[in-house]
Structure 1
Amino acid sequence: MDPLVAVILVGVPLAWLVAFAAYAYLDAPNHGMDRRKWALIAFFVPLFGFFAYVFERGERDYDPSEDPYAPGSDARTAGLAVHERRRGEKRLGPAGTEAADGDEDGADGDDEWNDPDGIEIDDDRDR
């Protein structure tokens, strides 16, 4: 057998197994798991062992103090925050048009909905 073919047939899959085991070994403590156990499983049970580790590990806990977009007391960052680079730009309205500043009803004072012709909405109806 040609040495190049042997390297490809044996070396590449072995390198993948070592990479999967190394990832499990380094990542397991972040999730409170035994690093040696999961590295051995990822190495000796090809492919299935690595996917078992990925699906078995716990999700990381969410810490709102580290999230820059979490609602906070600062109105600037509450809810849907705007990235610093976008702060000076004009806001966009529907379909990419420029939003009207301070005029929510539109220029002609009509309702914001564009009703088809022939349909009249009675705003004074009893509810």
Structure 2
Amino acid sequence: MQPLVVAILVGVPLAWLVAFAVYVYVDAPKRGMNRRKWAAIAFFVPLFGFFAYLFERDELDYDPADDPYAGGGSDREAGFAVHESRRGERALGPAGSEAEDDGGEWNDPPGVDIDDERDD
């Protein structure tokens, strides 16, 4: 066989096994698992060991206090966070036009009152 073909047939699967083992080795402590044991399983039991790790690992804990896009907070309203570089800018209206601050009401044409039409 050609040396290049042998290198490809042996090197590519070996590289994948090493990549799986490295991923498990780095990710396992975040999940509270033994990194050496699971990395060895992922390396010596091809493909099945990596998928076994993926199914056995625990989910990461979520803390809304650490999430800048979660609802609440002192500088946010209704879960809408604005980047610090954009604070103080005027809000945009439909199609990028300047929004008018008219108390939150729609700009209906004169003579149109939607509340009266619903009462009929």
TM-score between the two structures when normalised by the length of structure 2: 0.77
Shift in Å, 1:56: 2.2
Higher relative contact order (CA 8 A, sep 6+): 2
Q: Which letter maps to 1:105?
A: W
Q: Whole-Å Cα distance in 2 between the matches of residues 92 and 40 of structure 1?
A: 55
The alignment-based identity, stated in percent, is: 66
Which residue in 2 is equivalent to 1:56? 56
Which residue in 2 is equivalent to 1:92? 92
Q: Whole-Å Cα distance in 1 between the matches of residues 42 and 113 of structure 2?
A: 62
Q: Which letter maps to 2:34?
A: D
8 A contact 1:100–1:106 mirrored in 2: no
Three-state SS of the structure 2 residue aligned to 1:121 is helix
Which residue in 1 is equivalent to 2:36? 36
How many residues are aligned here? 116
Equivalent position to 1:121, from 109, 117, 120: 117
Which residue in 2 is equivalent to 1:7? 7
Q: CA RMSD of the aligned region, Å?
A: 2.6
Name whichever structure is richer in helix by fraction: 2
Give unpaired runs (5+ residues) of structure 1. 113-119
Change (3 A) 1:100 1:2: same
Give unpaired runs (5+ residues) of structure 2. none
TM-score between the two structures when normalised by the length of structure 1: 0.73
